[in-house]
Amino acid sequence: MSQTRMKNFKHKGKDQEEMRRRRTEVTVELRKNKREDSLFKRRNVPSEVEPDEEEDTESRKQLLQQIEFISANILSETPATKLAAVRTARKLLSRTPLAPIDQLLQCGIVPELVNCLVRDDQSTLQYEACWALTNIASGTSEQTKAVIKCGAVPLLIKLLSSSAKHVAGQALWGLGNVIGDSAECRDYVISHGVIQPLLSSIRSDVSIDYLRNVSWVISNLCRYSNPSPPFHAVCELLPAVCHLILHPDTAVKADTCWAISYLTDSGNDQIQVVVDSGIVRHLVPLLEQDNLKILMPAIRAIGNIVTGTDEQTQVGTIVIGMQR
């Protein structure tokens, strides 16, 4: 198909601004449909924890007692006492939907939770502190920023290389929540060097749960188009994206497709990088998926690509034609 014919086919009666407006409308609709499938933030809540009903007077009294216990013991030099305080905080933060994040922030526990991250000699303490910080970062932007301001991000990145796999996994989860908060937080975490430790963790010996969290974090790193992720970060992430889209696990594949859809929603330059990576030929077959968790982001990504430049549209249509 000639470029002239392609242009007539794609842009007849439409200017670039109109095409962008229509793409934005589709994007908004797709985001409404996917909220249940691809959350920006995820709180780590044990399966045995049931949603709380309205708090009565007795439960509020118990909450105050627990917060007092945390405040009195989190600075303890006795390892068992300190661990008990951190674990109590973590359990409170795992409550749904009434986690007392603000009350605990007012107690000033975040700096001490961050201090626990350096205790390589106490992996259980590190794990509980990571878990508590993860759930704080799952809250509002102000709550997430409280975690950032206390210096948690560089320490969480370091813990990605921890020999204690449960600690590394929880640190990954915490970083995903910080990254998912906003473009500003995303770029802050990138500036502290998260990408290479993250990519180094994509190995055949990691658990599927860990790999699912990796793909989710990568999708958050690709999220937000105003501003887009730094170009160097996109180039570093794309080989991993090309690898993960071939993974058989539904959750891994779905989050990887969302990553591609975010990247291709950030302008023609990033669409071109995605096209140049060769990933389109792996993306198109997913349009025949019955699973909506994969199908929806795959449709969005292809839609973004074919509304790019004439050349990008041609690549998309050629690859689609070759798959039929």
Answer yes or no: are the C-beta atoms of 214 and 195 closer than 8 Å: no
Amino acid at 72: A
Answer yes or no: are the C-beta atoms of 195 and 237 closer than 8 Å: yes
Judged against a pLDDT cut of 50, whether residue 51 lies above it is answered with no
**In terms of C-beta density within 10 A (0-12 exposed, 13-18 middle, 19 or more buried), how is residue 165 classed?**
middle
pLDDT, one tens digit per residue, over 160-176 is 999 999 999 999 999 99
Give the Å distances, CA to CA, from 161 to 40, 156, 170, 198, 200.
24, 9, 12, 9, 9
pLDDT, one tens digit per residue, over 230-284 is 999 999 999 999 999 999 999 999 999 999 999 999 888 888 999 999 999 999 8
Q: Please state, as a whole number, how many other Cβ atoms lie within 10 Å of the Cβ of residue 22.
A: 13
104 versus 29: which is more confidently predicted? 104
Residue 315: which pLDDT band, with cuts at 50, 70 and 90?
A: low
Nearest Cα to Cα of residue 110 among 127, 87, 133? 133
pLDDT, one tens digit per residue, over 58-106 is 788 899 999 999 999 999 999 999 999 999 999 999 986 778 999 999 9
Q: Please state, as a whole number, how many other Cβ atoms lie within 10 Å of the Cβ of residue 102.
A: 14
Amino acid at 49: V
Total residue length of the chain: 324
Percent of the chain with pLDDT over 90: 66
Answer yes or no: are the C-beta atoms of 70 and 89 closer than 8 Å: yes
Residue 13 tokens read as 């009666």
Main-chain phi, psi angles of 293, to 5 degrees: -65, -30
**In terms of C-beta density within 10 A (0-12 exposed, 13-18 middle, 19 or more buried), how is residue 80 classed?**
exposed
Using CA atoms of 208, 214, 220, 223 in order, give the dihedral in degrees to the nearest 10: -90
